[in-house]
Structure 1
Amino acid sequence: MASLRVVTRMFCAASETAAAAAPPVPASRWERLKNSKAGVWFRSMASDYKDACREIFVSARKRPLKASVYAALVGGAWASFQTKPDRSSFETALLECSGHLGLLSPWIRSPTSDGHVLSLVKLRNEGRLRHVSLGLFTLVFRYDYDPDVALYEARCSNLSVPWRELPERMLDVGFAGRWWILDSKMRDFDVNDDEFRRLPVHMQATSPPGVGEVERSERLHRESWLAVKMEEEGEADAAVGTVQQDKAGA
């Protein structure tokens, strides 16, 4: 037994000596990349983001109302950014409004709608409409010159339009997929208020019809589509004779 133990110890010592003398196994490419400076920086950044996300979920569970408000604000901002109208949409809306007004007689068009659309079309034809995107909404404002004009006043940076004059030059605001000023100007574009100025005061303003008037109008409209019933010749003669007798007796 003693000799067996000695032999076993000799083999173990020899294996340990061979393992120590063997050259080290080269690390893989992934391990070298992971242990490099860039790998350590990315791992630390991922750990920080992981901790931040964990804190967000923990705080949202503790304060659900506050988390809901923040989520609604972020979602609203994202929706506004995605539905923000651009330059092509404004020109499309302007041409559509111009087409709607062109189908009406000049005596029927609203002066407010007609004047606003005509001024925008004139600025567009002159190349003086400018568009600027501010992230969540888009502004349309007028400029003094076309960008292709080679005049000194148009090219000199010292004579450019200052930002403080932007509110005076602003023509429309695009937000949530709509152009708000253009839509407000086109409200009741087929009603000319100048036609009713010479009417009496009590006729200039009309009140909405009641339920009875609406039902009567609908009933008359349905009856107008019915076929006309022709009376028989005998019944018509009898009706005429009866009318004549009534007149004679009177």
Structure 2
Amino acid sequence: MQFLRVGGRISALRQRLADRFQMPERFKDTFVEKWVQYWNGLVRDYSEVAVGVVRESYTKPKKALLYGTGMLFLYQAGLNNPDEEAFMTLLRRSTNRMITVPFELQNPESADYLLTLERAINQKKLRLLSLGICTILWVDLYDEDDCTYPAICEYTKVGLLNFHERIIDVGFWNQYWRLKWKMRNYDVNYL
């Protein structure tokens, strides 16, 4: 438990640095001194928080493990968040797989979903909203280049209350899950 004395070590190091570096007389009673005091206070506060977190992790290791695992999961989810390029790659791959199957043997649900996506892309109505750990794919009411009054009026845009109706896919962990779900049985064996 020698690591628990880390708070004393950090405060001693901070005190030694403060003793070594003194403010020149010409900066006394100026905004520079206030600025230095602000940053010193900020560093002191955050170092106290860090020491408190380490101490609490020793007293409650399960809670610390849970928080650490959650933070690592969110970090990895952010790294593996799919973007528009990943969506287009997955869409092309799915379309190419669907093309290899004759039209009569295609699953209508898969074919309709791919057709909906292709129409939204061709009409430039497909939008991506990246939330850091996941990406929402939705269809807008108007083309992104449309300059007519209904397209630019703020009252005719998709509202927050009916936004969920416009969502057509959710991307998470380098996958677009609805596209994957719709393509699971795209050929004659879908029954």
- TM above 0.5, one fold? yes
**Relative contact order: is structure 1 or structure 2 higher (C-alpha 8 Å, sep ≥ 6)?**
2
Task: Please list, as runs of the form range in 1=range in 2, the aligned pairs for 1:136-175 lying within 5 A after superposition.
Answer: 136-175=133-172
| Structure 1 residue 169: Cα displacement | 1.0
Q: Percent identity?
A: 27
User: What is the distance in 2 between the residues matched to 1:61 and 1:97?
Assistant: 50
Give the equivalent residue in structure 2 for 1:122: 119
| Structure 1 residue 45: Cα displacement | 1.6
What TM-score results when the alignment is normalised by the length of structure 1? 0.62
CA contact (8 A) 1:110 1:188 kept: yes
Which one of the candidate residues 129, 133, 136 is aligned to 2:130? 133
Name the SS of the counterpart of 1:172 in structure 2: strand
User: What is the distance in 2 between the residues matched to 1:94 and 1:164?
Assistant: 29
Decide which structure has the larger Cα Rg and report it: 1
Name the SS of the counterpart of 2:137 in structure 1: strand
Which one of the candidate residues 63, 79, 83 is aligned to 1:82? 79
| Structure 1 residue 31: Cα displacement | 3.2
Task: Please list, as runs of the form range in 1=range in 2, the aligned pairs for 1:101-116 lying within 5 A after superposition.
Answer: 101-116=98-113
User: What is the distance in 2 between the residues matched to 1:159 and 1:40?
Assistant: 51
Aligned residues: 166
Give the equivalent residue in structure 1 for 2:33: 36
| Structure 1 residue 192: Cα displacement | 5.0
User: What is the distance in 2 between the residues matched to 1:117 and 1:156?
Assistant: 30
| Structure 1 residue 65: Cα displacement | 0.3
User: What is the distance in 2 between the residues matched to 1:135 and 1:165?
Assistant: 22
What is the aligned-residue RMSD (CA, Å)?
A: 2.0
User: What is the distance in 2 between the residues matched to 1:46 and 1:191?
Assistant: 65
Distance 1:123 1:192, change over 3 A: farther
Give the equivalent residue in structure 2 for 1:60: 57
What TM-score results when the alignment is normalised by the length of structure 2? 0.80
| Structure 1 residue 134: Cα displacement | 1.9
| Structure 1 residue 150: Cα displacement | 2.1
Name the SS of the counterpart of 1:163 in structure 2: coil
> Following superposition, which runs of at least 4 residues in structure 1 exceed 3 angstroms of deviation?
none
Identify unmatched segments of 5+ residues in structure 1.
1-28, 197-250
CA contact (8 A) 1:111 1:192 kept: no
Identify unmatched segments of 5+ residues in structure 2.
1-20
User: What is the distance in 2 between the residues matched to 1:191 and 1:127?
Assistant: 32
User: What is the distance in 2 between the residues matched to 1:72 and 1:121?
Assistant: 39
Give the equivalent residue in structure 2 for 1:210: none
| Structure 1 residue 124: Cα displacement | 0.7
Name the SS of the counterpart of 2:162 in structure 1: helix
